[in-house]
Amino acid sequence: MPRPSSDLSSYAAIGDGRTIALIDRRGSIDWLPLPNLDSVPVFARILDADNGGCLEITPVGEFEVRRRYVARTNVLQTTFVTPTGTARLTDAMVTGVAGRLPWAELARRVEGIDGEVAFTWRVQPGTRLNTAAPWAEQRDGATILRVGETSLAVVGQGHGTPTTVDDGAGPRVEGSFTTSPDSRHLLVVVATDGEPLHLPHPENVDRSIDRTIEGWRAWSREFGYDGPWAATVQRSALALKLLVYSPTGAIAAAATTSLPENPRGGKNWDYRFAWVRDLAYTAHALVRFGLREETHAAISWLLRTIRDNGPDLHVLYTLRGTLAQNVTEHEAPGWRGIGPVVTGNPAHGQLQLGVYGDLFAICRTYVDSGNVLDVATGRMLAAMADRTCDEWRQPDSGMWELPEIRHYTSSKMGCWQALRDAVVLAEAGAIPGSAERWASERDRIAAWITEHGWSEEIGAYVMHPGSTDVDSSVLLHAESGFDRGERMSRTIDVLTERLGAGDLLYRYTGMDQEEHTFVASAFWRAGALACVGRHDEAVAAMDDLVARANDVGVFAEMISEHDGSSWGNIPQALSHLAVIGAALTIRDLVPEEELDGH
């Protein structure tokens, strides 16, 4: 049995607004939670090579691969070139006439281009991280696979004669077919959870693939970006669109759980939750792209969720807008045997003061783009601004969700940002409250950072007072406007010296011994260089970094400085947000003649 890919950069992502599948270069889907992105996954060979489950369509024998997304879509095309012929596989999570389907429908279409290519295929559900035992049954001539409450059916056209096999490793449906010039073959997997199962007609699904392509292109036509690295920016926007959980408008931090940040394991987190921080950056990008519907849905979801789960502002929420519960560790080996495999995230109960800045940034972005806040939101924001005034002096866990509770400099910068934006919103009449008080505390925070967050000894903003450690998250506050002067410029140099690995950057002091470089940090550095006026360096850094994406433009969370391999959860929202943020900042700040044709 083939094993999951040994490099996470092998994976491309497709999705339907409810869940996401990861497909490797051999045509194997090694990750697909059903019915929702945050469900315990039915297909998870990426985390459990033996019992995780997969969906394969692969040529028999040797082959070479070329692949790409269909232009301006999240539909993937993989071309297999073999000694006997060439064939093309198109993969889509299909949509319906009125948008997202009420069930999950994966369509895999193989077209013969020249010669003949023999394919085998397999649909083998996993054990949901060893929590359920799959079984198979025959209904109306179709094979039905069940895993717990999830029901799946396999249908197709020109896909050979399906056979149901159970040789002790759990039931699977498999078959084979051979392409010829202009031949067309279709394999469809449809799934529901705790509800009746619809069996689609293959002819309708075949048309649905083309309709799904046009749906993505219609969305892309609404996407407005005129600037450097346009193809990279659009691909990152499409990656973010995959992470929008359409039933609510929430935005997942990543599509996966438990993909390790280092070979020793331990830092294996579940990122299928909605972070306030990520949503703030996403809303800022979506507004600037002119994407009104996603912006309104995301902001409305967040504000409603905060009110429903108040009065505290939490770091993250589930995709359905509830509070995250405790972490569950599963009996599964993990990617490359690197555990643990978990669902849930322990950051949900932490105090992170920077989240106040994220919340106010979202709301100011929304108002600045010509929208109006409702009365309840205005009152809530006024109360949050007052809380920021009271709480900014407290130590917290910082942006990196650390167990050490300290006075992190970037957290104070986030509080400064919150009160700066609160004052702007109040003066615009968008929220009630005491703008004078907020302005006064804003200035106190700035004075505190100047006195305690800066080290003349090392010439940089430090991670926390009394330390010479440095932290890449302060780079975000070149973009926020806290500092675009000499101190931020000197800080960039110290971060580059102490955390840099060529064009890459570690998160903070000591991480080179614990994990790989953090993709977002490197792009933050590129954007910060533009903010402090170092335009040539910003453009050069961006050029180097965009080349770090995999062959279809997808970024994971981390990149190894040693071999360029990908690590951590994938696709990672913060990585793609950093790509977009840096490109927008450079476009806005660097004169066109200095971009030299970008």
pLDDT, tens digit, 9 for 90 and up, residues 211-262: 999 999 999 998 888 899 999 999 999 999 999 999 999 999 999 999 999 9
* Residues 542 and 582: beta-carbon distance below 8 Å: yes
Would the pLDDT of 1 be above 70? no
Check residue 97 and give its pLDDT: 77
Mean pLDDT on 6-21? 95
* Nearest of 577, 15, 36, 128 to residue 318 by alpha carbon: 36
Q: For residue range 298-332, what is the model confidence (pLDDT) as tens digits?
A: 889 999 999 999 888 999 999 999 998 889 999 99
* Residues 461 and 491: beta-carbon distance below 8 Å: yes
Mean pLDDT on 33-47? 95
**3-state SS assignment for residue 586:** helix
Spatial distance between the Cα atoms of 397 and 517, rounded to a whole number of angstroms: 21
Q: What percent of the chain has pLDDT over 90?
A: 86
Would the pLDDT of 288 be above 90? no
More confident position, 167 or 449: 449
pLDDT confidence bin for 285, thresholds 50/70/90:
confident
* Residues 324 and 273: beta-carbon distance below 8 Å: yes
Counting every residue, how long is the chain? 598
pTM, two decimals, is: 0.96
Beta bridge partners of 455: 460
Answer positive or negative: Cα dihedral of 485, 486, 489, 490. negative
Spatial distance between the Cα atoms of 275 and 273, rounded to a whole number of angstroms: 6
**Residue type at 396 in one-letter notation:** D
> How many other CB atoms sit within 10 Å of the CB of residue 75?
23
**3-state SS assignment for residue 526:** helix
Spatial distance between the Cα atoms of 278 and 579, rounded to a whole number of angstroms: 13
Would the pLDDT of 124 be above 60? yes
Spatial distance between the Cα atoms of 231 and 226, rounded to a whole number of angstroms: 10
pLDDT confidence bin for 84, thresholds 50/70/90:
very high
Strand ranges inside 96-228, DSSP E: 104-115, 117-125, 135-139, 142-147, 150-157, 163-165, 172-179, 184-193
Mean pLDDT on 136-151? 89
Would the pLDDT of 268 be above 80? yes
Mean pLDDT on 338-342? 95
**Beta-carbon contacts of residue 168 (< 8 Å; ≥ 6 apart):** none
* Nearest of 6, 338, 177, 86 to residue 28 by alpha carbon: 6
What average pLDDT does the chain have? Answer: 94
Check residue 291 and give its pLDDT: 84
Would the pLDDT of 123 be above 90? yes
CB burial of 306-336 (b: ≥16 within 10 Å; e: otherwise) equals beeeeeebbbbbbbebeebeeeeebebbbbb
Distances (CA, A) of 167 to 40, 170, 172: 24, 7, 9
Q: For residue range 502-535, what is the model confidence (pLDDT) as tens digits?
A: 999 999 999 999 999 999 999 999 999 999 999 9
Would the pLDDT of 195 be above 80? yes
* Residues 399 and 350: beta-carbon distance below 8 Å: no
Spatial distance between the Cα atoms of 210 and 107, rounded to a whole number of angstroms: 11
Half-sphere exposure of 511 (CA within 13 A, CB side): 28
Check residue 560 and give its pLDDT: 96
